[in-house]
């Protein structure tokens, strides 16, 4: 069964809920290696996303995702706003005019999002950022879809890869973003953006 608009809207609502619940935890992670605002940033951004959803709730999936991207770019300060904003704008462009998503569309949307973040942030895997969750998550999703899994099955495979990747950021040395200013002292802390990416992916499971 394809994923429809309601699946996408449900994901966005669950994302806003979990980012609100985890606001303090994300900010605490950012306090250790950044400037203690990641939870506030994400909660503020997704609060505005939810406010804007009624205006596009009958539109195609591409339009909904582009609206999310614009909301994040315009309301979230810091590095994560433009990065997540770009991800949603790129996914929206990749899925323009789609009323429903087949497994291949899901791969195309997630791939466009991850590529957008990597280009915008000039980041590769291994630099202690959200990319360290998104790259293995995308690879797992691609593998599952190529193996013929349904969307719900493929989302579970992607989620498992994302959750497993989060603690792997702890021993990494940050070479991108604010955490890189700490040099060796960034080692031993979980990356906040990797954590929020894993929350967003987990929220895809309905």
What gap in Å lies between CA 34 and CA 186, rounded to an integer?
A: 9
Binding to ligand ADP by residue 200, rule CB under 6 A? Answer: no
Please pick, from the candidates 8, 34, 44, 159, the single residue that binds Mg ion as defined by CB under 5 A.
Answer: 34
User: Of the listed pieces 55-63, 87-95, 118-126, 138-146, which binds ligand ADP according to CB under 6 A?
Assistant: 118-126
Find the residue with minimal CB distance to ligand ADP: 193
- Under a CB-based contact definition with an 8 Å cutoff, are residues 53 and 72 in contact? no
Residue 123 or residue 157: which is nearer to ligand ADP going by CB?
Answer: 123
Stretch that binds Mg ion, among 32-40, 110-118, 180-188, 195-203 (CB under 5 A): 32-40
Identify the residue among 5, 27, 29, 37 touching Mg ion (CB under 5 A): 37
The answer to the question of residue 15 lying near ligand ADP (CB under 6 A) is no
Single out the residue of 17, 35, 99, 104 in contact with Mg ion (rule: CB under 5 A).
35
What residues from 44 to 103 belong to the interface with ligand ADP (CB under 6 A)? Answer: 78-80, 83
Residue 159 interacting entry, from Mg ion, ligand ADP, none, C-beta within 5 to 8 Å by type: none
* 5 SS3 class: helix
Asked if residue 193 binds ligand ADP (CB under 6 A), the reply is yes
Give me the residues that bind ligand ADP (CB under 6 A), please.
Answer: 30, 34-35, 37-38, 41, 78-80, 83, 117, 121-123, 129-131, 176-178, 191-194
């Amino acid at each position: 069964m394809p994923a429809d608009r309601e699946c996408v809207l449900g994901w966005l609502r669950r994302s806003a809920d979990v980012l609100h619940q985890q606001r303090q935890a994300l900010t605490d992670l950012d306090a250790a290696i950044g400037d203690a605002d990641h939870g506030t940033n994400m909660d503020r951004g997704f609060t505005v996303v939810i406010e804007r959803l009624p205006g596009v709730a009958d539109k195609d999936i591409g339009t909904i995702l582009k609206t999310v991207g614009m909301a994040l770019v315009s309301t979230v300060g810091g590095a994560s706003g433009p990065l997540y904003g770009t991800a949603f704008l790129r996914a929206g462009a990749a899925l323009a005019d789609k009323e429903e998503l087949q497994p291949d569309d899901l791969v195309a949307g997630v791939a466009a999002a991850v590529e957008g973040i990597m280009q915008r942030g000039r980041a590769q895997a291994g630099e202690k950022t959200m990319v360290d969750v998104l790259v293995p998550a995308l690879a797992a999703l691609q593998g599952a879809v190529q193996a013929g899994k349904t969307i719900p099955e493929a989302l579970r495979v992607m989620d498992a890869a994302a959750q497993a990747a989060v603690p792997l950021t702890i021993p990494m040395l940050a070479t991108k973003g604010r955490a890189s200013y700490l040099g060796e002292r960034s080692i031993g802390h979980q990356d906040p953006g990797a954590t929020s990416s894993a929350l967003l992916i987990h929220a895809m499971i309905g």
